[in-house]
Amino acid sequence: MNKDQVKGSLKDAAGKVQETTGRVIGSTEQQAKGIHKQVEGQRQKAVGDVKEVLKDITHP
């Protein structure tokens, strides 16, 4: 597991918390920020996944 996978997973989880908190307090702004953070995290994790595959291919 590389740093992009870890950071991406953490950012995704934080975004889910922020979205849920926004829903509970009735803040569409916080919900939107949470969703945005989730997308960023998922994208960063995907980059990390690709790096791992490439590392596995180039360094068997």
Residue 59 reports pLDDT greater than 80: yes
The predicted structure's pLDDT at residue 50: 97
For residue 60, pLDDT beyond 90:
no
Structural domain count, the chain: 1
CA distance 14 to 54: 28
How many alpha carbons lie under 13 Å from residue 8 in its C-beta half-sphere?
17
User: pLDDT tens digit string along 22-53?
Assistant: 999 999 999 999 999 999 999 999 999 999 99
Contact between 6 and 45 (Cβ < 8 Å): no
pLDDT confidence of residue 49: 97
Instruction: Residue 12: give the domain boundaries.
Output: 3-58
Question: Would you list the DSSP string of 26-57?
Answer: T-HHHHHHHHHHHHHHHHHHHHHHHHHHHHHH
Q: Is 19 left (phi over 0), alpha (psi -120 to 50) or beta?
A: alpha
